[in-house]
């Protein structure tokens, strides 16, 4: 076995307080039981508390009963089921685009789409903080990758001028709600720059889908930017509480993706129970269009409690609320202390976030009631101060 190079890498990570482990939890969601004790989980992406929603589970079960456990083939062979098409039609309608395409995960939606939009002769302009799946996709595409300062429209404008299209394609990529900072991109201004330069624009709405906009359709829809955003990407793994990713786009781009997105073509179609659950979520979002607004009001309240104690929540303006700590080991120590007190608040460290910016990343969900938020705020404030 030629594995002698592995342990030193792990030792080094441990030395820097960066060793990672995947701990098993008895269940998911914002409020869980561990060893019979109720714990508030601020590290779940089940923002709308829908993972155990009865209608969603029924829809998932119905799909399972009707189609079995798997789609049994890739989409272009015999894996496309009527429910895949139904989900795509509903996603397109809700997102305000002519078409949508479902992928196996959000990661795959990004990994599949970006290399179709750009290739070796082209340039991608990426916000400094875009998710790893977008960066991996850029590398896969072979395009020149130009980063611009986070949410800085002027910096983006300068970059676009510095690296003109000159006959090739330009693609701007950003998130609408940033996954680790919880802040919001200036989408209108970015869209205007994209228009000015004739660049394509792709926005990852992983954390805005379900949580912002009409029926949870996201921020592109809220601002009426569908015509200037080439690709609206989303995932069924956050507020949708399940699994799978998607893009909403023009019919032409959908056709092109079906023909050339490798992460769409060379993989098995998502399983029926997962697609059924996503359809159930869309029913819930349609029937209860204010869920996102309630979530944001609760998050505002929680942030105000933390601000009152002068904790630094960075530029958060969503259900994702970081608390800046800085030092990796301190972030882990605070997270451990809170865990002992029944609060799960994951410490997020480099390389997920830039060096020196370790933080607690808190996600408010609809499982957290006002008294939960007040209790959690008190414990968090004490743990961070000590």
Please report the sign of the dihedral spanned by the C-alpha atoms of residue 206, residue 28, residue 13, residue 312. Answer: positive
Distance CA 211, CA 50 (A): 12
263 binds ligand PLP per the rule CB under 6 A: no
Distance CA 178, CA 181 (A): 5
Site pattern 130..169 for ligand PLP (x: CB under 6 A): -x-x------------------------------------
Q: What are the residue numbers of the active site?
A: 45, 131, 175, 179, 204, 207, 238
Of the pair 200, 383, the CB lying nearest ligand PLP is at: 200
Task: Provide CB contacts within 8 A for 5, sequence distance 6+.
Answer: none
107 binds ligand PLP per the rule CB under 6 A: yes
Of the pair 105, 357, the CB lying nearest ligand PLP is at: 105
Site pattern 46..85 for ligand PLP (x: CB under 6 A): ----------------------------------------
Half-sphere exposure of 220 (CA within 13 A, CB side): 31
Which of 179, 215, 316, 335 binds ligand PLP (CB under 6 A)? It is: 179
Of the pair 105, 151, the CB lying nearest ligand PLP is at: 105
237 binds ligand PLP per the rule CB under 6 A: yes
Of the pair 113, 328, the CB lying nearest ligand PLP is at: 113
Please report the sign of the dihedral spanned by the C-alpha atoms of residue 202, residue 204, residue 210, residue 211. Answer: negative
83, 75 Cβ separation under 8 angstroms:
no
271 binds ligand PLP per the rule CB under 6 A: no
Q: Specify the residue for token string 């030193």.
A: 8
**Smallest gap, in angstroms, from Cβ of residue 358 to ligand PLP?**
18
Contacts for 118-123: CB closer than 8 Å, 24+ residues apart: 118/143, 118/169, 118/171, 119/143, 121/168, 121/169, 122/168, 122/169, 122/170, 122/171, 123/163, 123/165, 123/168, 123/169, 123/170, 123/171
Part of the chain binding ligand PLP (CB under 6 A), chosen from 20-28, 100-108, 181-189, 340-348: 100-108
Q: Which residue's CB atom is positioned nearest to ligand PLP?
A: 106
Distance CA 342, CA 41 (A): 8
42 binds ligand PLP per the rule CB under 6 A: no
**Count of chain residues binding ligand PLP (CB under 6 A):** 13
**Smallest gap, in angstroms, from Cβ of residue 305 to ligand PLP?**
25
204 binds ligand PLP per the rule CB under 6 A: yes
Part of the chain binding ligand PLP (CB under 6 A), chosen from 14-22, 103-111, 181-189, 192-200: 103-111
181 binds ligand PLP per the rule CB under 6 A: no
Task: Provide CB contacts within 8 A for 296, sequence distance 6+.
Answer: 211, 212, 318, 319
Closest CA to 202 of 246, 241, 168, 240: 246
Three-point CA angle 109, 205, 187, nearest 5°:
125
Give the strand order in the sheet containing 245-249: 99-103, 245-249, 231-235, 200-204, 170-175, 123-127, 144-148
**Smallest gap, in angstroms, from Cβ of residue 179 to ligand PLP?**
3
The structure tokens listed for 342 are 């029944």
Distance CA 112, CA 195 (A): 24
348 binds ligand PLP per the rule CB under 6 A: no
245 binds ligand PLP per the rule CB under 6 A: yes
235 binds ligand PLP per the rule CB under 6 A: yes
211 binds ligand PLP per the rule CB under 6 A: no
Of the pair 125, 197, the CB lying nearest ligand PLP is at: 125
Contacts with ligand PLP, residue ranges (CB under 6 A): 105-107, 110, 131, 133, 175, 179, 204, 206, 235, 237, 245
């Amino acid at each position: 076995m030629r594995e002698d190079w592995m342990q030193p890498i792990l030792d080094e990570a441990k030395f820097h307080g960066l060793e990672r482990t995947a701990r098993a939890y008895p269940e998911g969601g914002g409020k869980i039981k561990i060893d019979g004790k109720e714990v508030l989980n601020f590290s779940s992406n089940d923002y709308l508390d829908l993972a155990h929603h009865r209608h969603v589970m029924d829809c998932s079960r119905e799909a399972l009963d009707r189609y079995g456990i798997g789609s049994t083939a890739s989409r272009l062979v015999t894996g496309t089921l009527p429910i895949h098409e139904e989900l795509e039609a509903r996603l397109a309608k809700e997102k305000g685009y002519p078409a949508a395409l479902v992928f196996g995960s959000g990661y795959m939606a990004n990994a599949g789409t970006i290399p179709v939009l750009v290739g070796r002769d082209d340039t991608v302009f990426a916000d400094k903080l875009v998710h790893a799946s977008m960066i991996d996709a850029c590398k896969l595409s072979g395009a020149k990758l130009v980063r611009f300062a986070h949410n800085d429209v002027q910096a983006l404008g300068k970059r676009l001028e510095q690296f003109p299209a000159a006959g090739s394609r330009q693609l701007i990529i950003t998130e609408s709600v940033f996954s680790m900072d919880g802040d919001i991109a200036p989408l209108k201004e970015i869209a205007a720059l994209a228009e000015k330069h004739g660049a394509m624009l792709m926005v990852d709405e992983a954390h805005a889908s379900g949580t912002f906009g009409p029926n949870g359709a996201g921020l592109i829809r809220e601002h009426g930017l569908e015509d200037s955003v080439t690709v609206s990407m989303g995932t069924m793994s956050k507020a949708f509480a399940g699994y799978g990713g998607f893009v909403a786009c023009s019919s032409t781009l959908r056709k092109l993706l079906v023909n050339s997105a490798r992460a769409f073509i060379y993989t098995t179609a998502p399983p029926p129970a997962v697609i059924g659950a996503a359809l159930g979520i869309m029913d819930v979002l349609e029937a209860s269009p204010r869920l996102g607004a309630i979530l944001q009001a609760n998050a505002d309240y929680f942030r105000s409690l933390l601000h009152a104690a002068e904790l630094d929540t960075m530029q958060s303006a969503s259900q994702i609320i970081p608390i800046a700590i800085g030092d990796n080991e301190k972030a882990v120590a605070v997270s451990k202390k809170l865990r002992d007190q029944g609060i799960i608040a994951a410490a997020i460290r480099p390389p997920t976030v830039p060096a020196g910016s370790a933080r607690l990343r808190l996600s408010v969900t609809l499982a957290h009631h006002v008294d939960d938020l007040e209790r959690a705020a008190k414990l968090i404030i004490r743990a961070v101060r000590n």
